A and B are shown apart, each in its own frame.
Chain A
């Protein structure tokens, strides 16, 4: 079956530091990959996505590249801000098998950015 593994948090950084949150996946087909962000007390919002190998998703300074050879979709940002403090979820949705398209999520990684 499908699965997503994220690095455990919390990740604690100072403002303007470089961010990497690792995400690897297992899927039977050719999934689409997503990063969602959850700010305190809110629901999940789509941050970025990639639908095929070597695609790069980007938004708000965050980037992630779909690496089929390493089954990874690591999230990066060159300079984090205090306002980036949130929980980040990696997810996949399997296109190939014509299955349910119900996504599979990682456990989430909490990011705390200090001034």
Chain B
């Protein structure tokens, strides 16, 4: 029962490099999202998706790209890394339901990214 799987867990990048944070869920959830967590800022939404082929911007989308070609996968791409993107990144998924478990958000374990 994998849930939400994020890779890598730790990464160091040089300024200007690009990379992709992977996120996969095996719960057939419609909704997936990426957050970054910075000290004193809580969780800020980067991008989200309400289904395969559909993505939208969150609160802090600049410098990041996403795509959702399948229900399971929602990768986050850093196009040209900057020190301001040093953060902890969390992927999350959820589904629409009016039942007791409805709308519970499931998180990955996080990816610690440092840009030098």
Question: A residues near B, CB below 8 A?
Answer: 32, 34, 36, 42-46, 49, 51, 89, 91, 93, 95, 100-103, 105-108
Contacts and interface: CB of A to CB of B under 8 A. Distances in A.
B74 to A, nearest CB: 12
A56 to B, nearest CB: 14
Interface in B87-115: 90, 92, 94-96, 98, 100, 102-110
A43 B42 CA distance: 13
Contacts, number: 66
B109 A42 contact: yes
Interface residues of B, number: 29
A96 B56 CA distance: 20
B27 interface: no
Given A102-B33, A102-B48, A95 B103 contact: yes
